[in-house]
Amino acid sequence: MEKYDLMIIGAGAAGLTAGIYASRAKLNTVIINEGVVGGQMVLTEEVANYPGVETTKGYMLANTMKTQAKSFGCKIRSNVKITSYALEDPVKSVTLEDGRSFSADAVILTPGGRPRSLNIPGEDQFKGTGISYCATCDGDFFTGKEVIVVGGGNSALEEAVALTNFATKVTIVHQFDHFQAFEHAIKEAQNNPKIEFIMESELREFIGDTTLEKVTIEHLPTGNMSEMNIDGVFIFVGYLPNTESLAGLVALNERNEIIVDPDMKTPIPGMFAAGDCIAKKYRQVTTAVADGTIAALSASEFLRTRNTKAAPKPASLSVQG
């Protein structure tokens, strides 16, 4: 079993940031990641709102974070499969599919999350080349163009309004005849002259060559199909934290998000969580970086306090006259 001071589960923006901070603080740190290093960053065509960086490819930002973490001594084990967790004991451990085990005195959970997909033909093909799940990240790339927003909750309507700062026209496609958003969000969207609505309808296919060109829409009450030329589609039909394997091991809310306090602590001593897997409102690269920073600092404090309490007291000296 490989033994570390700190173990980080997940190598997205939060996990890599935690690795940078912890390793630079001289903690023996390992990041264990079940997929490609970078998380949601690698799916972003361009990142144009990361402070201090004018514009960069998502995978390039992820690679820079990875290189920086490794330069401070952080070990990264990626493209592995975790088959079991033991996280409640003072020494936390995980076992991989290949039989290897890792343990540490503290753990930071950063498995990330993923936008809920429509799971229709063409969606995987045009992710990043016409299909987006983040208006804040990608809205600027659709300046002067026409886009569709899919969804009827607060996020969908609020992001649709935000997109009117860039797009010439925003069409909201929603499966019901009413919205699930708050009244003020509905009114704001309805009063925006750039926004149109296609209700009781769902997208059935994304069509294009190298980039998205049009979509097929079904009107649910009638079953009628129609095609619509479009420059981009933004999908806001929910968000899924990658916490399925952690059920029963850590406190989750009704949306399966990990519950933490402002210091990224979970109720289990020595266990922290950060990034898109935790219960919070905003999910951006910058917020994940902030979460990872706080989690690493909290974990460092936990380990320092624990080691101080565990250290033997020096023997008292007696002076004879």
Which one of 188, 215, 235 terminates a domain? 235
Nearest to 4 by CA among 26, 24, 20, 21: 26
How many domains is the chain partitioned into structurally? 2
Does residue 145 share a domain with residue 8?
Answer: no
* Structural domain of 12: 2-114+239-309
Does residue 137 share a domain with residue 104?
Answer: no
Does residue 128 share a domain with residue 110?
Answer: no
Which one of 235, 258, 293 terminates a domain? 235
Q: What is the pLDDT of residue 47?
A: 81
Does residue 228 share a domain with residue 148?
Answer: yes
CATH of the domain at 266: 3.50.50.60
Which one of 206, 235, 264 terminates a domain? 235
- The full 3-state SS of the chain, as one line of letters, equals CEEEEEEEECCCHHHHHHHHHHHHCCCCEEEECCCCCCHHHHHCCCECCCCCCCCECHHHHHHHHHHHHHHCCCEEECCCCEEEEECCCCCEEEEECCCCEEEEEEEEECCCEEECCCCCCCHHHHECCCEECCHHHHHHHHCCCEEEEECCCHHHHHHHHHHCCCCCEEEEECCCCCCCCCHHHHHHHHCCCCEEEECCEEEEEEEECCCEEEEEEEECCCCEEEEEECCEEEECCCEEECCHHHECCECECCCCCECCCCCCECCCCCEEECHHHECCCCCCHHHHHHHHHHHHHHHHHHHHHHHHHHCCCCCCCCCCC
Is 318 part of any domain? no
Does residue 299 share a domain with residue 207?
Answer: no
Is 320 part of any domain? no
Residues that are catalytic: 134, 137-138
Does residue 251 share a domain with residue 219?
Answer: no
Does residue 105 share a domain with residue 212?
Answer: no
Does residue 144 share a domain with residue 86?
Answer: no
Q: What is the pLDDT of residue 321?
A: 40
Taking the model in full, what pTM does it have?
A: 0.77
pLDDT tens sequence across 119-136: 999 999 999 899 998 887
* Low pLDDT (below 50) residues in the chain: 316-321
Does residue 32 share a domain with residue 81?
Answer: yes
